[in-house]
Each structure stands twice: as C-alpha cells, then as structure tokens.
Chains A and B, each alone.
Chain A
Amino acid sequence: MKVSELAASGGFRALALSDPSREIAGCYVGDLLSWVMGRAQAGNAWITIMSNVNVAAVASLADVACVIFAEGVQPDEQALAAAQTRGINLIATGLPEYEAAVTLSRLI
C-alpha cells in the first residue's frame, strides 16, 4: 500500500505528503526516539505519539515510509516544516497506537 492510499483511508489523514507514492512495508511502534532509530526498518510506517523535530530526523535516518502520529497528536511546526522540505511523509490519526497498528495491519 502506498502512503497516499493510507492517508485517504478512514481514520487517517495527511499532514505532509512529500513522497506520496512511497510503499509501506510493515510497521514499527515506539516513542523512545533513540530506540526507534536503531530498530525501525526502512519502509516501515512508524506509529508514535512524540511530536518534536527529532521525530522527523529519526524518520529520515531510519528511512521509514511515513510517520503516523497517534491519539490526535499534532507535530510541532518545526517538525512539520522539516518533513515538508526533506521528503518525509506525516500522517495523523485519532486512534491510539495499538488500534492504529491493528487498522494498518488490515490495510497493508
């Protein structure tokens, strides 16, 4: 499934789609950024509730397909701006992390 298709699915919405045709391969859930940086796989959709600019940096370093902000969390302005200029896809959902992962699992 492409990131743009996920963003158009019920319960998810696009915050920044700089690379909408990126294919999602699997999912990683985590909020401790240093931990995520070493474990998320390239192409994963990364579900988190962290919202600062470091999220965009870790997303870039781990080369994830997109970041999904769970529980209605909004990334801060710096994170949003960084994602837009660096080809990082950001998606929002009101679902908690577990439900977001389960929903994503049914879709991909």
Chain B
Amino acid sequence: MKELSLNILDIAMNSVKAGATKVEIRLTETGNRLELTFTDNGCGMTEEQVNSVTDPFFTTRTTRKVGMGIPFLKLAAEQTGGSFAIQSETGERHGTVTTATFYTDHIDFTPLGDIVSSVSTLIRGSPDIRWVFAHETPNGAVALDTDELKAVLGDVPLDNYEVVKWIEEYLRESYAEVNQNET
C-alpha cells in the first residue's frame, strides 16, 4: 500500500472482525528499525487459519474474507529486509499478536503516512473497543488509551464528533512535539 498507515488500518480491522474488546497498536522506532505490533484479545486463529491469512490465495477468486492486508504487510516488511510473524491462540487466553519489523533506511520502506487518520478512523468506527495506540521514537512518544479517555468523558461516546476531533488534534499535536525534538 502507498502508506503503512493504510496497511495498519486494514490489519486492525481484522482484530475488530475477530470480536476483540481490546486492540493495541504499537510502533517502536530504534535507530533504523521500526517494529509494528498489533495485540488483540479477539477469537484468535488456529494454526491452519494463520497459514490461510498469510496465504494470498486464501478464499475464492474474487472475494477474500480477510483482505490482502496480511500478505501486503508481510511484503512491505520483507522488502526492507525486515520480518513478519503472527502468533495466535484460540483457547482460554485467546487473541492474536501480529508483528512486522521494518528497516526504515531501506529505499523500499513504505512511509508511515497519515497514521493519525487511521487511528481516529478505527476509534470512531468501533468506539466500544479499548484502543491502545503507542508510537515510541528516539525523540519522544505519542500515546493514546481510549479507556483513559472514557474515564474522563463519562457518558459521552467516543464516536461523538467533538471527541473524534479532539482525538485527532491531540494526536497531531503530540506528533508535532515529537517532530520538534528531532535534531
């Protein structure tokens, strides 16, 4: 995809479809390495299902239940010399952890793009899920936990227009601060 943030949106939607009540999206930058991790408590997948979603030919000729998000993320990571992995559990401790590692100085690294829009779109689309977003960089961190927001908001829903606007502005300001620290 043209932006990693679109890929992130796509992958996080898998967690929504898996019935997760908590989804964590973490981006950790250290030097030229970017680690992207999705952790959800959704229904999880069997080993066979994990293989299926990684297989770009999963499902029928013109429709795919899970989209090409996973194969594209794997490709995006591997084409920078990075790696990709999925760990999933269907039992009592059900959930899925998807990890992709990128080398950001590789010419084929897909820029992150508008991650703020992706995160706010996810929150607005599924306000009942607890979203935890954290982006750590050497110059500072951007973080948001919708449970902390809910504690302040009380009965005001997360998909309220003003709240969505606030979330977007908060994230953009946080990124502006991090970018200011960049030397």
> If A32-B1, A34-B1 touch, does A61 touch B62 (CB 8 Å cutoff)?
yes
- Residues of chain B within 8 A of A57, CB atoms compared: 56-57, 68, 71
The answer to whether A60 and B75 have CB atoms under 8 Å apart is no
Is B64 an interface position by the 8 A CB rule? yes
Bound CA–CA A53/B61 (angstroms): 15
> Most A CB atoms within 10 A — which of B6, B57, B62?
B57
Which chain A residues numbered 1 to 52 have a C-beta less than 8 Å away from chain B?
A: 32-35, 37, 52
Place the interface of chain B in its size category: 10 to 19
Bound CA–CA A60/B61 (angstroms): 6
The answer to whether A54 and B61 have CB atoms under 8 Å apart is no
How distant is A90 from chain B, measured CB to nearest CB, in Å?
Answer: 15
How distant is B58 from chain A, measured CB to nearest CB, in Å?
Answer: 9
Which chain A residues numbered 56 to 74 have a C-beta less than 8 Å away from chain B?
A: 56-58, 60-61, 63
* Count of chain A residues with a beta carbon within 8 Å of a chain B beta carbon: 16
- Residues of chain B within 8 A of A34, CB atoms compared: 1-2, 6, 68, 72
Is A82 an interface position by the 8 A CB rule? yes
- Residues of chain B within 8 A of A37, CB atoms compared: 68
The answer to whether B64 and A33 have CB atoms under 8 Å apart is no
Bound CA–CA A105/B57 (angstroms): 30
Bound CA–CA A53/B6 (angstroms): 21
How distant is A40 from chain B, measured CB to nearest CB, in Å?
Answer: 13
What residue of chain A has the Cβ atom nearest to residue B56's Cβ?
A: A57
The answer to whether B57 and A86 have CB atoms under 8 Å apart is yes
Bound CA–CA A58/B68 (angstroms): 9
> If A61-B64, A63-B62 touch, does A82 touch B57 (CB 8 Å cutoff)?
yes
- Residues of chain B within 8 A of A58, CB atoms compared: 56, 68
The answer to whether B75 and A54 have CB atoms under 8 Å apart is yes
Using A32-B2, A33-B75 as known contacts, list a sample of 8 further A-B pairs with CB atoms less than 8 Å apart, ordered by residue number in A.
A33-B68, A34-B1, A54-B75, A56-B56, A56-B57, A61-B61, A61-B62, A82-B57
The 7 closest A-B pairs by CB, nearest first: A57-B56, A34-B1, A54-B56, A54-B71, A57-B57, A54-B75, A34-B72
| A residues whose Cβ falls under 8 Å from a Cβ of B | 32-35, 37, 52-54, 56-58, 60-61, 63, 82, 86
18 contacts between A and B (CB under 8 A): A32-B1, A34-B1, A34-B68, A34-B72, A35-B1, A37-B68, A52-B75, A53-B71, A54-B56, A54-B68, A54-B72, A54-B75, A57-B57, A57-B68, A58-B56, A61-B62, A61-B64, A82-B57
